[in-house]
Amino acid sequence: MNSLPILTQAPACLGAFVCGSIPFGLLLVKLVGKGDVREHGSGNIGATNVSRVGGKVLGIVTLLLDISKGFLPVFLAKKMGLGSDLLALMALAAVLGHMFTPWLKFQGGKGVATACGVILAADALLMLLPMGMFVFVLWLTRHVSLGSILAAAMVPVQLLLAHWMMSPMLGSHRTGQFASLLPWLALVVLVIWKHRENIRRLQEGTESKLWGAKKEDTHV
């Protein structure tokens, strides 16, 4: 549990939210003179849409920056020795910042890259199942959205496996530890909810694929 008072926890979460809210994809596309990325393709500000509007290099830079804005606040908090429950809240706040950035009238991206960043900062081993699932599904279907959805679904599984290995004995301490998993579960639900239109298109068979799709016909 955290030893910090609520008046200290709140600014920490706010800082993570602000860090996560920086719309790097939008800024980079405008910087290279390609206009507003929201007016192209899926209208998303994430790396996949940026790569189709501004090129693969710009998409990779956006991906790395979106990961870093989730990684940085959680990493710094971890280095300061803050508790796992506050780290989880900060992780959720950073992803919320990306999804509902105040600089874009509380519109934003789908949070996948930023979620990767916060997980890597909290514990890189927690990325094993999600990343494996993402790579496998992307290779199999070429759908970034489907890979992202199923990778997000693997996060609770990985968390529960890690939790079970660290706390094999039942008891009140373990119950308290489960409470710190709730922000991570909320994060996963939000990421999947943000992909609801992709889920609909996947069901209809109209979802675009990573390669072989036209720039203006992508919905990822």
Of 48-57, 78-87, 93-102, 206-215, the least confident: 206-215
The pTM of the full predicted model, rounded to 2 decimals, is: 0.85
Residue 1 lies in a domain: no
Residue 98 exposure: Cα atoms within 13 Å on the Cβ side:
35
Determine, yes or no, domain membership for 161: yes
Residue type, 99: M
Residue 158 confidence (pLDDT)? 87
Residue 187 maps to a domain: yes
Separation of alpha carbons 21 and 15, rounded Å: 10
Structural domains counted in the chain: 1
Residue 40 has pLDDT above 50, yes or no: yes
Look at residues 34, 48, 175, 201 and name the one whose alpha carbon lies nearest to residue 110. 48
pLDDT reported for residue 213? 46
Q: Tell me which residue range forms the domain holding 35.
A: 6-217
Residue 167: per-residue pLDDT: 53
pLDDT in tens, 162-210: 766 655 443 444 545 566 788 999 999 999 999 999 999 999 998 888 7
Q: Do the Cβ atoms of 106 and 100 come closer than 8 Å?
A: yes
Domain-located, residue 66 = yes
